Amino acid sequence: MTCKILLPDKTYLYEGVKSVRLPGFKGVLEVMSRHAELFELLQKGPILIIKDGEEIPGFDIESGSCHFAQNTLTVITAGKTSQRIPGEKLPNYEDDEDED
């Protein structure tokens, strides 16, 4: 599967991805190779990318959307986005919701 991450200032392309976990509004969404076509809005949270059985650097996003078709996942982010370090402890995003 191919995964494209489109940031406001940069684009990342990953080939041979096994799965991607995304912060959907209805909960965590995991997209794997040959997933059914979908479009999903994303909320604040981590994007985790698994390739060759290992997590590769993902991203923490504020919001965005994703579209999966023809074995390609395209993620468009909005707002502040930062790249994560594999194995880094994930922040507790649920605590942030109470601050608004």
**Per the structure block, which two tokens stand in for 71?**
């074995």
Could you give all domains of the chain from N- to C-terminal order, each with its CATH number?
A: 2-88 (2.60.15.10)
Comparing 41-50, 67-76, 86-95, which segment has the lowest mean pLDDT? 86-95
**Per the structure block, which two tokens stand in for 24?**
């959907």
The phi and psi torsions of 88 (rounded to 5 degrees) equal -65, 140
Q: Are 39 and 67 in contact (CB under 8 A)?
A: yes
**pLDDT tens figures, 19-66:** 999 999 989 999 999 999 999 999 999 999 999 888 887 899 999 999
Single-letter amino acid, residue 70: Q
Give dist(CA 31, CA 85) in Å, integer.
21
Higher pLDDT, 79 or 85: 79
pLDDT of amino acid 49: 92
Residue with tokens 């922040």: 91
